[in-house]
Amino acid sequence: MSEQGGVQFAIRGTGDRNNPVRRKLLKPFTGPELFVHFRMQYDAGGIDTPADGDGEFFVLWLDDVDGGDRAAHQGGVPNVGVHVAEQENRLMVRYHSSQQHFSRIALEGDREYQMIVRLGKSNAGPDQPFDQLALWADPLVHERENPAVKATSHDAIRRVQWLGFATGRKTEPTDTIRISDVRVAASWREILGLSAAVAAKAAPSAASPAPPQHVEKTVDFTTHVLPILETACFSCHGGADADSGVRLDVLDELLNQVTPRDAAASRLMELVRSTDLETRMPPPGEDRVALTRQQIETLGTWIDEGIDWDDGRLPTPVPQTDHWAFQPIVRPELPQVTNRGWIRTPVDAFIARRHELAGIGPAPLATPETLARRLSLNLTGLPGPRPRTAAAGIATAEVPPPPTTAAGDSTDDALVATRDPDRAEATHAVADVLVDELLSTVAYGERWGRHWLDLARWAESNGHQHNRERPHAWRYRDYVVQSFHSDKPYDRFLLEQIAGDELPYADEHLVATGFLAAARYSGNELDHEIQRNDILVDVVNTTAQTVLGLTLECAQCHTHKFDPFSLRDYYRLQAFFTPGQPGNVVLQSDPATAHALIESRWQIFDDVHRRLVAGRRASGVPEPVLVIPKSVFRAMKGPERTLFQRTEAAIAQLPQSWSWTSLTSADAPLAIAPHEMRWPLPRQGTGASAPKTYLRLRGDVKSVGPEVRPGWPAVFGKTPAGLARPRTTLATWMTSADNPLTARVWVNRIWQWHFGTGLVETSGDFGTQGTPPSHPQLLDWLACELIESGWSTKHIQRLIVGSNTFRQDSRFSPQGHAVDPDNRLLWRWRPRRLEAEAIRDSTLVVAGQLDPQAGGGSVPVSQAGRSRRRSIYLQQKRDNLPESLTVFDSPPAVASCSRRNVSTVAPQPLYLLNSPFMQTMAQSMAERVREAASDPDAQVQVAFEMALGRRAEASELQRATQYLADHTLTSFCHALMNLNEFLYVN
Amino acid sequence: MHRRTLLQYAGLGAGSLALQSLLRAEDERRPQTHFRPTAERVIFLFMSGGPSQVDTFDPKPDLQRYDGDDVPESIAQTVPKIKRAGLKNLMASPWRFQPHGESGIEVSELFPETARHVDQLCIVRSMQHRNPVHGPGECVALTGTGAGNRPSIGAWSLYGLGSANQNLPAFITMNIHSDGMQYPQAAGWGTAFLPSRFQGTRVDPRVGVRHVTMPAEQAREDRRDQLELIEWLNRRHLQSVGEHSELEARIRSYETAFRMQSAAPELFDLSGETQAIRDRYGLDASPTELAGRTCLLARRMVQRGVRFVQVRIGGWDAHGNIKGNHTRMARISDQPIAALLGDLKQQGLLDSTLVVWGGEFGRTPTMEGRGKGRDHSPAGYTVWMAGGGVQGGRLIGQTDPLGYVATERPVSPHDFHATILHALGFDANRLTYLHHGREEVPTVFGGSAVKEVFA
């Protein structure tokens, strides 16, 4: 067959039928199918539309004979190309000029089309007609069954010997059509420039982790080993008071004396083999003799075979603990207090009771302005979309204004005023309305969703040195925001995040598993066992810390030094997650297309990969021959590369989510789009068997202990066996009413985000090393409320922000300070610095610059400086977070962050004073102020209300107007944005 | 800006705050040293990517002899079973080693300049850990854990030392030549659970401290008035709130920031350095320009009271071609590092400044695949220490005859950290910080100071 690739023709019309380029095949073709490939580009300048001219005509024809210069072909000759349909030039195919079949593709000028034509015979044979004709433009590999247009005709040529391009009467001398890369082939893959098809499921062998070696068991624990241990060891090294603290009747303890699968390295073997009577075990004595060689050999084999154990006969004792956090939650009675008038919600009763016991009293009600700003910042992270109106609403609409004195500052008077019961009631009523309003805003979801993202150590890149981006991770962020906005019950929220992929299919459920998938992932880790274990460790630590408030990470290497968790507990918890891994899950709008696209992408990739491996092997590279994806991309040949890139582009268009799914999930396999790394995780859906979970001694991946099955820590009771949906079981246990931790931990976190400090100060550690709760009964009461309200977060928040406790003023009291300097008893509101996001967002609001667009893809780091969107929408790329956030202690998104650090370092003022962002914001704010007021006094007041939510007091006004006499309004506004009062929730 | 103006400017407003008492209070909370320190500050020259020990400071003549052979079984069985530990094709070093100085310690011809200072160096040839991957390995080398979730050695040092200059960050990290595959690990200058004031401030040596320059259109007088207004309003706010140490600290941070506006540009302005110094560091020659500038800045920083300077020079990852890579890296760094040692000595700073050099791991004595490079290997590698009480001209530890595994006096990164803290006067096992009810120490995974370094 002849090939004409590489040559380019520029064809012009003549205004008549013409046949400018035609070629003869080396021999006539009569096979079952023939493919023709060519690239076609119409110069835009020459294109007439049927509306203003005649339109266009241009075809490729395939014939048995050369039709001559005038393109005189008979009927039955296949034509593909461009002709006029209704009002458009469209791609079409035809056998006869009277029967044209048009595609939907309208001809665009200056665009190169990759045209592929198929001529086929429904009955093979040299004398059968080519009765099938089809045309594709820019096809992807999997689109063989979906041509742009096709036609059939019994009246058709039976063999092909000539092909050529023809113009017609509509093709004018000013029209230029460029043709190149004309090729023929006998198969679909060949015409696309690919090698022959491969089995779609085949994955490179390097992709699956090597399981730890397994040996056939020759020693049975109960019949061979146990008798030895019972007679020779247990009398001293058994039971709780074992000699030297060495216990051999409990697997977890025994493991300290042996190295599974390596008897030679085991301390136990060293001791029983010792010839030194001082150290030999068992030691010489009346009724004890050294083990026989046979017995020693049995023990050795037992260890080498991985240590078989009978948990039924020798169970690990359930740890006993009387630590408060592990005891059941019991609803406490509301305490009786003297100061009953102060109680707005039951929260106040618990707080007041402690005040009374300590002999102190609460601070007065905060001023309406302070309260409005506090509520708004607390619930939405913004000083209020209309800070003036909100404050003014409280200050003037409902409450009689406080009497002001001509010269003095009004704070004291305002405070006195709030002690007046009527005025206080009115303040509360207005604040309650504001609370309802704020809780219903999207801004609330954004603020509280961000708190959750801290716990989820959520980010949009893999971390570690390659730090590849995760362009679809934002969907999880939106899921979290939406969940808070809609007050999704907390138990449901957890279930979806921990087991969303096990629930009945819904996009939302898969997106929710972004919680697990947010783990870091090292793409440069060649050892798949280490790679997987690192991810699992991250997932277990984060889940335990976030949901249960436990610092389980200690138990990764050794039995927890303080809390009742063993090494075994740790890996049992890991086993729930072992079969899963993160990846780009395609959301299922069109699963068939997604699967087909991804499959063809892998086909091309695997072809090239195989080729490279074979080549390197042939050149003598020793096994294993490793080829990284980058080399594969580089080695793709022209057409392969084009097609590969086009397929990748099409995959990128599919809606996806960075989610966690099981390698072995059954029902309808999900489409997982590639996430290419140097050493990627095993490809999902390739029939890989589920990895097992093993104890890892001292946390060392390479020190593999016995296999373990999923289970929660033994201290919390028995885990059912044989779980069909293991993570669903885990989440259900976590949110069952008798789980002592989940509800306590969550209400404590809510409390912390409202007050700055939790009732349990160490909100991420409810273990024995954490701090005890300041108000244990209040904590339990709130936990009961949470569960009984159907796990409603907003219900708990209403109880908190509606309380007098929350609404206190921040004023200092020597008496309170003397009794309780840290304010653990909450005798006042303690001002605290805003988080980085709230500082940036508040600045944008005050400058009138905030772009309120919610949700969707993140603003790339490179554009973060110019963006005016809320900070939660700035891309969270690990190790490259926006400066505006890191300067104010935003977490690095590496581990779960229960409580943010608050630093006060000089780079912060430098940023606030000198960064271009702050300067621009100061200018914008000044413009806003100037629009609202012209004389200096009024400008000061407007600026104060914008930035601080209150009016300037007399002395402030005087100082400020003085300043304005010598300085610009921008300089003044810039100063306000640097105030502690601006940066703090007061 | 002229020096005189700067000084005047730096003085502005400094007296207006009751700073001294605050500083003293903070100082009193610092942990007490456990014994007499031999160093007051540290310069950590971190060679990211993993310089090869057998091509630099750990000569192995046997490699010549067995060039091309496989690692013999006797040594192979001691190589920890971690990925990448290739056992085929031993590869001789392309560089010769020669004895230097009075000590006669052999150094590869790769580092002719550093070799001149060999009598100042205490070379530890038996470093060892188990993490063969750059990111986690770097975290191990600088924080003690692969996860990087514990404080960096710089943060621990600063926690012990406190700050000596209120005008500059006390812990500065400069990352250069980090354009390769090994991304700098933020944990390496992070604080984890330690308060963030002990954090390293990341500075680009070509740029200086961020946002230290006032906007061009802002007059200095205006800035001074602005700061006074801010302080006046902040004090009113503080009064209304009563006792609040954090608000006070924030007011103080404006004062520091203000002083940093002058101190930082002064630090980064090298125009006052002599041509001799510029030549010594290689400031005007292209391969050494950046590392030279960075090393010179390190000296200027410690001179001005910065306690911990971390210089991260990336690019040592010689997989494909050890000769090409290490030649290039040595050209970049040898002269500047030698200049730093000499300059510190001349300025009388070396005795009180601990200088350490090393990467996250070393490299295999074998060839990687069929290339001319070496793979990562944490089983035995070399670091050196100098100044700050260190006994120069000394060797500690040993690797096997092929330079693969540390065989004598293995030193873990935890031991290494304890050694740095030892120089600063702290017993790492007793340097505690109360966090979540636990007394955290730098050596939670074990580790004790290599005291032979000092005596």
Q: How many alpha carbons fall within 13 Å on the CB side of residue A897?
A: 21
Summary mean pLDDT of chain A: 87
Q: Which of A54-58, A101-105, A387-391, B370-374 has the least mean pLDDT?
A: A387-391
For B109-120, how does the pLDDT look when each residue is reduced to its tens digit (9 = 90+)? Answer: 999 999 999 999
pLDDT of residue A668: 66
Provide the greatest CA pair distance for chain B: 80
In angstroms, rounded to a whole number, what is the distance separating the alpha carbons of residues B68 and B49? Answer: 25
Domain boundaries, chain B: 1-30+221-268, 38-207+273-453
* pLDDT above 90: residue A960: yes
A528 touches chain B (CB under 8 A): no
pLDDT of residue B5: 34
In angstroms, rounded to a whole number, what is the distance separating the alpha carbons of residues A76 and A289? Answer: 101
Closest approach of B118 to chain A, Cα-based (Å): 33
Looking at chain A, the whole-number percentage of residues with pLDDT higher than 70 is 90
Amino acid at A470: R
Band (A137; pLDDT cuts 50, 70, 90):
very high
Find the CB nearest A971 among B169, B226, B241: B226
CB atoms under 10 Å from CB of A7, counted, come to: 11
Closest approach of B215 to chain A, Cα-based (Å): 6
pLDDT of residue A246: 73
Selected residue of A553, A560, A957, A978 to mutate for chain B interface (largest B Cβ count, 10 A):
A978
Which value, to the nearest 10 degrees, does the dihedral of the CA atoms of residues A122, A123, A129, A132 take? 10
Long-range contact list for A860-868, CB < 8 A, 24+ apart? Answer: A865/A916, A865/A917, A868/A844
Q: Domain A4-191, what fold?
A: Jelly Rolls (2.60.120)
For residue A282, cis peptide bond before it (omega within 30 degrees of 0): yes
* pLDDT above 80: residue A481: yes
Find the CB nearest A770 among B251, B257, B436: B436
In chain B, residues with a C-beta closer than 8 Å to the C-beta of A978 are 230, 254
Residue B108's contacts (CB-CB under 8 Å, 6 or more residues apart) are B55, B56, B57, B59, B93, B95, B96, B97
Rounded mean pLDDT of B432-449?
84
Mark yes or no for CB contact B246/A966 under 8 Å: no
pLDDT of residue A409: 47
In chain B, residues with a C-beta closer than 8 Å to the C-beta of A621 are 369-370
Selected residue of A903, A923, A948 to mutate for chain B interface (largest B Cβ count, 10 A):
A903
Q: Which of A187-191, A608-612, B137-141, B218-222 has the least mean pLDDT?
A: B218-222
Summary mean pLDDT of chain B: 87
pLDDT of residue A287: 62
For A180-189, how does the pLDDT look when each residue is reduced to its tens digit (9 = 90+)? Answer: 888 898 888 8
* pLDDT above 70: residue A363: yes
Q: B residues 193-232 near A, CB within 8 Å?
A: 195-197, 199, 201, 209-215, 218, 222-223, 225-226, 229-230, 232
Rounded mean pLDDT of A658-666?
81
Band (A177; pLDDT cuts 50, 70, 90):
very high
Q: A residues 919-948 near B, CB within 8 Å?
A: 919
pLDDT of residue B155: 94
Amino acid at B123: I
Q: What is the CA radius of gyration of chain B?
A: 23
pLDDT of residue B212: 87
Closest B-chain CA to A920: B215
pLDDT of residue A276: 81
A620 touches chain B (CB under 8 A): yes
Selected residue with higher pLDDT from A350 and B210: A350
* pLDDT above 60: residue A408: no
In chain B, residues with a C-beta closer than 8 Å to the C-beta of A773 are none
pLDDT of residue A400: 38
Candidate CATH numbers 3.40.1440.10, 3.90.78.10, 2.60.40.10, 3.40.720.10; the one for domain B38-207+273-453: 3.40.720.10
Band (B182; pLDDT cuts 50, 70, 90):
low
Rounded mean pLDDT of B328-340?
97
Selected residue with higher pLDDT from A902 and B206: B206
Q: B residues 317-346 near A, CB within 8 Å?
A: none
In angstroms, rounded to a whole number, what is the distance separating the alpha carbons of residues A714 and A733? Answer: 13
pLDDT of residue A699: 66
Band (A399; pLDDT cuts 50, 70, 90):
very low
Mark yes or no for CB contact A810/B240 under 8 Å: yes
Find where tokens 């050795």 sit: A300
In chain B, residues with a C-beta closer than 8 Å to the C-beta of A901 are 195-196
pLDDT of residue A6: 63
A527 touches chain B (CB under 8 A): yes
Phi, psi of A272 (to 5 degrees): -75, -20
In chain B, residues with a C-beta closer than 8 Å to the C-beta of A524 are 133-135, 181
Helix (H) / strand (E) element for B357: namely strand B353-358
pLDDT of residue A195: 67
Is the distance from CB of A365 to CB of A418 less than 8 angstroms? yes
Closest B-chain CA to A765: B436
Band (A390; pLDDT cuts 50, 70, 90):
very low
* Sign of the Cα pseudo-torsion (B127, B131, B133, B136, in order): negative
Closest approach of A111 to chain B, Cα-based (Å): 38
Q: Which of A105-114, A770-779, B184-193, B292-301 has the least mean pLDDT?
A: B184-193
Phi, psi of A705 (to 5 degrees): -95, -160
pLDDT of residue A419: 61
Find the CB nearest B222 among A889, A911, A971: A971
Residue A688's contacts (CB-CB under 8 Å, 6 or more residues apart) are A203, A208, A663, A664, A682
Tokens of A516: 């697990």
Find the CB nearest A915 among B182, B211, B223: B211
B434 touches chain A (CB under 8 A): no
Domain boundaries, chain A: 4-191, 221-304, 326-362+739-813, 363-445, 583-655, 836-887+904-986
Band (B253; pLDDT cuts 50, 70, 90):
confident
Rounded mean pLDDT of A728-746?
95
For B131-157, how does the pLDDT look when each residue is reduced to its tens digit (9 = 90+)? Answer: 888 878 999 999 998 877 799 999 999
A769 touches chain B (CB under 8 A): yes
A264 touches chain B (CB under 8 A): no
Q: B residues 404-433 near A, CB within 8 Å?
A: none
In angstroms, rounded to a whole number, what is the distance separating the alpha carbons of residues A476 and A507? Answer: 11
* pLDDT above 90: residue A174: no
Band (A683; pLDDT cuts 50, 70, 90):
confident
In angstroms, rounded to a whole number, what is the distance separating the alpha carbons of residues B201 and B256? Answer: 14
Mark yes or no for CB contact B242/A908 under 8 Å: no
Provide the greatest CA pair distance for chain A: 118
Closest B-chain CA to A956: B233
Rounded mean pLDDT of A679-699?
74
* pLDDT above 80: residue A538: yes
Q: B residues 127-146 near A, CB within 8 Å?
A: 130, 133-136
In chain A, residues with a C-beta closer than 8 Å to the C-beta of B249 are 904
pLDDT of residue A2: 40
User: Which among A626, A598, A611, A610 is positioned nearest to A685, based on CA atoms?
Assistant: A598
Q: Domain A836-887+904-986, what fold?
A: serine acetyltransferase, domain 1 (1.10.3130)
pLDDT of residue A688: 59
A771 touches chain B (CB under 8 A): yes
Q: Which of A20-34, A67-81, B5-19, B231-245 has the least mean pLDDT?
A: B5-19
User: Which among A524, A678, A609 is positioned nearest to A204, based on CA atoms?
Assistant: A609
In angstroms, rounded to a whole number, what is the distance separating the alpha carbons of residues A478 and B33? Answer: 50
* pLDDT above 70: residue A266: yes
In chain B, residues with a C-beta closer than 8 Å to the C-beta of A325 are none
DSSP conformation class of A249? S
In angstroms, rounded to a whole number, what is the distance separating the alpha carbons of residues A277 and A288? Answer: 13
pLDDT of residue A243: 74
Rounded mean pLDDT of A902-908?
81
B444 touches chain A (CB under 8 A): no
pLDDT of residue A204: 38
In angstroms, rounded to a whole number, what is the distance separating the alpha carbons of residues B320 and A340? Answer: 78
Find the CB nearest A702 among B81, B241, B437: B81
Judged by phi (left if over 0) then psi (alpha if -120 to 50, else beta), residue A138 lies in left
Find the CB nearest A905 among B186, B197, B242: B197
Find the CB nearest A522 among B82, B133, B169: B133
pLDDT of residue A641: 92
pLDDT of residue B22: 43
In angstroms, rounded to a whole number, what is the distance separating the alpha carbons of residues A611 and B98? Answer: 47
pLDDT of residue B1: 33
Rounded mean pLDDT of B257-267?
88
Mark yes or no for CB contact A524/B134 under 8 Å: yes
Mark yes or no for CB contact A904/B222 under 8 Å: no
Q: Length of chain A, please?
A: 986
pLDDT of residue A1: 39
pLDDT of residue A145: 86
How does strand B97-100 pair with strand B362-363?
A: unpaired
B185 touches chain A (CB under 8 A): yes
pLDDT of residue A402: 40
Looking at chain A, the whole-number percentage of residues with pLDDT higher than 90 is 53
DSSP, residue by residue, A114-131: EEEEEEE-SS-STTS---
Selected residue of B234, B254, B317, B367 to mutate for chain A interface (largest A Cβ count, 10 A):
B254
Tell me the CA distances in angstroms from A759 to A657, A774, A857, one per residue in order. Answer: 36, 5, 36
Mark yes or no for CB contact A527/B83 under 8 Å: yes
DSSP conformation class of A331? P
Mark yes or no for CB contact B234/A812 under 8 Å: no
